[in-house]
Structure 1
Amino acid sequence: MIFKSLTTRVIVTLVGLLSVGIGTFTYFNLKREKDQLVKATRENAYLLLDTIERSIYKSMSVGDTQDVQVMLQMVGHSHSKLIGVRIFHPQGIVLKSSRPEEVGMPVPEGDYQLFINNRKEGVYSSDAFGEVLGVIKPIYNDVLCQRCHGTKKRLIGVLNVNYSQVETNRRILEATRLSLVSTGAVILFCAAAISLVIVRFVRQPLNNLIDSMARVEEGDLSVRITPVAEDEIGRLIVSFDSMVGKLDKAKRELEEYHFQQMERADRLASVGEMAAGIAHEIKNPLAGISAAMTIIRQDFSDEDPRKEIIGEVVEQVSRLDKTVNDLLFFGKPTPPEPTYADVNAILRKTLLFALQHKGGKNIAKSLDLADGLPEIFVDPKQVQQVFLNLILNAIQAMQADGGTLTVGSSLVDLDGKGWVRTTIADTGPGIPEPIIGKIFTPFFTTKAQGTGLGLAICHKLITQHGGTLSVTSEDGKGTVFTIDLPVAAYEEGAPEEEA
């Protein structure tokens, strides 16, 4: 669980890398120091060996062998690290030694093995002296030596020096301990410093940010954080405050908009009920006026100008009757009577009615209906009402300059479900951007003689059938209305051909 924390992983990683780095440096430093101590011991041994060799050569050249023994004893007691200095026979018998008791005794096995293996130096373990550095140097039968040793022997002896490695090893051990303690102290100090810095400048600000985000998640949008530094965490906090401020502003605007919409919905409901009541009271007198005007019109001859005036009155009464019907439907819509229907058949029937419109003579029509579309479960009359309203709007939009009316149908897949899509497009002037978001709002209209209920009723009818009605428009190039209705889900036992 502890390693799920980002700061913990960062601290552990940094301390681990630091430990590896410092440990590697300490290892090579210790190795270098050990090599230097061993090298110093060897150099001292070789220096002593050369000095003794020159002294022995000088004494032996004058035949004073007794001085050699005395000299070896003096040298053997001159240094605490020096265990012994000796000259032994190639067969392994000590001839001269700083320790007189060794004379005539076999040379130590470690030193003799160096000679046998033709090595100049080596370290071996001794029961009496511990770890010993042994250095040997053969004494060859030079011309001056041949007076005493003859000419038959090429090698007359081996000079041997033994140094104790106990002090060197002790110093190496002390250096190792000191390095380990120093390394551990440095690592602990660096780990504490890294932890303090990360906790202070990373973990605490992140925890504050997490706590504030939790409060925002609970709905408190008044949360603000004061950044302590102008680093990445500080910029993140500034961005968080900006985001929360925008959310708070959007929330207030949304609440205000929701309140306005609720008030508007209440007003529309009241207006709808009042309009339905008024429309019901107006509808019957309008029917009587229309019938009376029609009878009166028949009494005039075709040449009588009063007949044209009566005809205009009848047309205006018909327009008022349509407005009354729209108000009645909006105030109290008729429940749909759904059945299985073919959208292409509804479109063809609707176009047949729409082509009778007087403004559609100089408008080209284009049909792009997909074959084999599945049926939809809708009220055909209400869907036809929607199609007719949209097609007549398209014709009216192109009435002045002409254009092309395109009606299409297709099968689309939305979120894994089948939908029958119908598109009604025109090449008219289009809908301006500020207006397009309001066209489905009840009583909103840009027409001189419109009620503003046509598109609102269309949207309401399609929504009642579980579909969607959307619009896209480009100013100056035309408008496309898109109607998506769900494919019919047949109940068990219902024949697919019945529609």
Structure 2
Amino acid sequence: MISQYQESLLLPARTFQSGSMDTTYEDVLEHVDSGILLFDEEGVLTFVNKQMYGMLELNRHSLLGCTMAHLLSHIQLGRFKKKQVLRSYREMVQKGKQSYEFVDEYGRYWRASLCCGEQMKGSYLFTVKEISDYKLIEQTAYQNDSLAMLGKLSASIAHEIRNPLTAIRGFIQLLHPHLHQLGKEEYGRIILAEIDRANDIIHEFLTSSKPSVPQVSMIPVSALLKEVVLLTESEALMKGCQINLHPLHGDMIISGDVKQMKQVVLNMIRNALEAITERDDDQIGKIEVGARREGAEVRIFISDNGKGMDILTLDRLFNPFFTTKENGTGLGLSVSDRIIKDHGGCISVSSRVNEGTRFVISLPLIQ
């Protein structure tokens, strides 16, 4: 049941007569760092400070005298803001919660609070304050705690996973003469290389809080991308996707750890495959891989036509342990980002929901 006051909030607007608040208190509330809305006992908005009408992107005179219903139907109030105002109203007035946190269309965090009861003499005071800085501190503390816990578990987990990999590696080496007779020794070489890379990935993931020093060598970009595409082609075909490797013009060579660089590109291609398979339509999945020279740098790009990401996901994409996958660890992109930064480069990403995603890895070239 909605109370009489809650019903009054939804009444049509009426004309507001100024002078209902003491000027001194009004001046104080005008300069606080929180947005303020004050509804009287009849559900009419009697005061709004400049912080609040700035947040709503409306002018003061169009707000005073409004009820909640009139505010929600305001022609100049954006659709996203209407949705947040309505959710805040439901959570705090109808459900009785004292506060409600939300994220705006720009990715900023806010906390709305409600003060009512006998001390307010029937009035309802809504305050809204930005808490983005607090959320950043909170997330950083959580990540540090998670990384510390991960460090304690890494030794035992690595031991348990590497034991079967070692056995597989030994049997593949025993089968090498038979593979040679069949003319398939290249398969054996690839399997051994992938087992070694899996060991390196396990070590990298489980010790992500302790950055390792890259084993530097000269890496031809064309050879790197060709090998990665070769490793992922069969997986892509099984998922009904196409991987197109764009022709590379000129010799582009970077300096770095070839295993780590392969790990980064493979991770992004496999993320693209997952994004494509999560689309609801029957569109053919396509992944474009290539590189181009930009001055003294090379830009390696991996783009897909998968489900894409919204702005909130993009904002947290490289945070450790953040994942949108049901069985994901949230470490893949954070480790990739750190590897590229260790090599003096950076990763940029652009994405649109239901249109696809494009990652660009920028790295310095060896002249």
Tell me the TM-score normalised to structure 1 length. Answer: 0.38
**Any gaps of 5 or more consecutive residues in structure 1?**
1-221, 223-240, 247-252, 294-319, 490-499
Match of 1:342 among 220, 227, 232: 220
Please say if 1:405 is aligned against 2:287: yes
Displacement of 1:370 in angstroms is 2.7
User: Using the alignment, how far apart are the partners of 2:154 and 2:148 within structure 1?
Assistant: 10
Displacement of 1:263 in angstroms is 4.9
Spell out, residue by residue over 1:5-45, the C-alpha distance to the aligned partner (whole angstroms, 9 max, x if none): xxxxxxxxxxxxxxxxxxxxxxxxxxxxxxxxxxxxxxxxx
Displacement of 1:433 in angstroms is 2.8
Please say if 1:265 is aligned against 2:137: no
> 2:180 — aligned with what?
none
User: Using the alignment, how far apart are the partners of 1:408 and 1:389 within structure 2?
Assistant: 15
C-alpha change, 1:291 and 1:412, in structure 2 (3 Å) is closer
Contact 2:229–2:245, Cα closer than 8 Å, also in 1? no
Match of 1:480 among 324, 341, 358: 358
> 1:424 — aligned with what?
302
Spell out, residue by residue over 1:162-192, the C-alpha distance to the aligned partner (whole angstroms, 9 max, x if none): xxxxxxxxxxxxxxxxxxxxxxxxxxxxxxx
Give the number of aligned pairs: 216
User: Using the alignment, how far apart are the partners of 1:470 and 1:394 within structure 2?
Assistant: 15
Contact 2:320–2:330, Cα closer than 8 Å, also in 1? yes
User: Using the alignment, how far apart are the partners of 2:256 and 2:229 within structure 1?
Assistant: 19
> 2:262 — aligned with what?
384
SS of 1:392 mapped into structure 2: helix
User: Using the alignment, how far apart are the partners of 2:254 and 2:202 within structure 1?
Assistant: 30
Q: Quick one: which amino acid aligns to residue 292 of structure 2?
A: S
1:58-457 aligned at under 5 Å gives the runs: 257-258=132-133, 260-287=135-162, 325=203, 327-357=205-235, 360=238, 362-399=240-277, 401=282, 402-413=284-295, 418-457=296-335
SS of 1:445 mapped into structure 2: coil
Spell out, residue by residue over 1:204-246, the C-alpha distance to the aligned partner (whole angstroms, 9 max, x if none): xxxxxxxxxxxxxxxxxx9xxxxxxxxxxxxxxxxxx99xx99
Contact 2:305–2:356, Cα closer than 8 Å, also in 1? yes
C-alpha change, 1:285 and 1:383, in structure 2 (3 Å) is closer
Contact 1:419–1:486, Cα closer than 8 Å, also in 2? yes
Displacement of 1:289 in angstroms is 7.1
Displacement of 1:288 in angstroms is 5.1
User: Using the alignment, how far apart are the partners of 1:450 and 1:481 within structure 2?
Assistant: 19
> 1:460 — aligned with what?
338
Displacement of 1:391 in angstroms is 0.7
Spell out, residue by residue over 1:463-484, the C-alpha distance to the aligned partner (whole angstroms, 9 max, x if none): 1111110111121111111111
SS of 2:246 mapped into structure 1: strand
- The structure whose Rg is larger is 1
C-alpha change, 1:259 and 1:485, in structure 2 (3 Å) is same
C-alpha change, 1:430 and 1:259, in structure 2 (3 Å) is closer
C-alpha change, 1:360 and 1:472, in structure 2 (3 Å) is farther
Displacement of 1:382 in angstroms is 1.0
Contact 2:201–2:263, Cα closer than 8 Å, also in 1? no
Contact 1:469–1:481, Cα closer than 8 Å, also in 2? yes
User: Using the alignment, how far apart are the partners of 2:292 and 2:164 within structure 1?
Assistant: 46
User: Using the alignment, how far apart are the partners of 2:137 and 2:309 within structure 1?
Assistant: 27
Q: Quick one: which amino acid aligns to residue 276 of structure 1?
A: G
User: Using the alignment, how far apart are the partners of 1:408 and 1:261 within structure 2?
Assistant: 35
Displacement of 1:329 in angstroms is 3.2
C-alpha change, 1:325 and 1:374, in structure 2 (3 Å) is closer
> 1:75 — aligned with what?
none
Spell out, residue by residue over 1:135-177, the C-alpha distance to the aligned partner (whole angstroms, 9 max, x if none): xxxxxxxxxxxxxxxxxxxxxxxxxxxxxxxxxxxxxxxxxxx
C-alpha change, 1:340 and 1:452, in structure 2 (3 Å) is same
Q: Quick one: which amino acid aligns to residue 450 of structure 1?
A: G
Spell out, residue by residue over 1:348-375, the C-alpha distance to the aligned partner (whole angstroms, 9 max, x if none): 1111111232665521222223311432
Contact 2:300–2:361, Cα closer than 8 Å, also in 1? yes
Spell out, residue by residue over 1:237-260, the C-alpha distance to the aligned partner (whole angstroms, 9 max, x if none): xxxx99xx99xxxxxx9x964565
User: Using the alignment, how far apart are the partners of 1:333 and 1:435 within structure 2?
Assistant: 25
SS of 1:352 mapped into structure 2: helix
SS of 1:450 mapped into structure 2: coil
Tell me the TM-score normalised to structure 2 length. Answer: 0.51
Contact 1:282–1:324, Cα closer than 8 Å, also in 2? no
RMSD (Å), alpha carbons: 3.6
What stretches of structure 1 move > 6 A for 4+ residues in a row? 289-293, 320-323
User: Using the alignment, how far apart are the partners of 1:292 and 1:362 within structure 2?
Assistant: 32
Contact 1:382–1:461, Cα closer than 8 Å, also in 2? yes
C-alpha change, 1:385 and 1:339, in structure 2 (3 Å) is same
C-alpha change, 1:324 and 1:371, in structure 2 (3 Å) is closer
User: Using the alignment, how far apart are the partners of 2:353 and 2:289 within structure 1?
Assistant: 20
User: Using the alignment, how far apart are the partners of 2:359 and 2:216 within structure 1?
Assistant: 23
SS of 1:409 mapped into structure 2: strand
**Any gaps of 5 or more consecutive residues in structure 2?**
1-30, 32-49, 56-109, 111-129, 169-197
C-alpha change, 1:376 and 1:359, in structure 2 (3 Å) is same
User: Using the alignment, how far apart are the partners of 1:457 and 1:483 within structure 2?
Assistant: 14
User: Using the alignment, how far apart are the partners of 2:275 and 2:297 within structure 1?
Assistant: 28
* % identical equivalent positions: 31
User: Using the alignment, how far apart are the partners of 2:258 and 2:201 within structure 1?
Assistant: 22
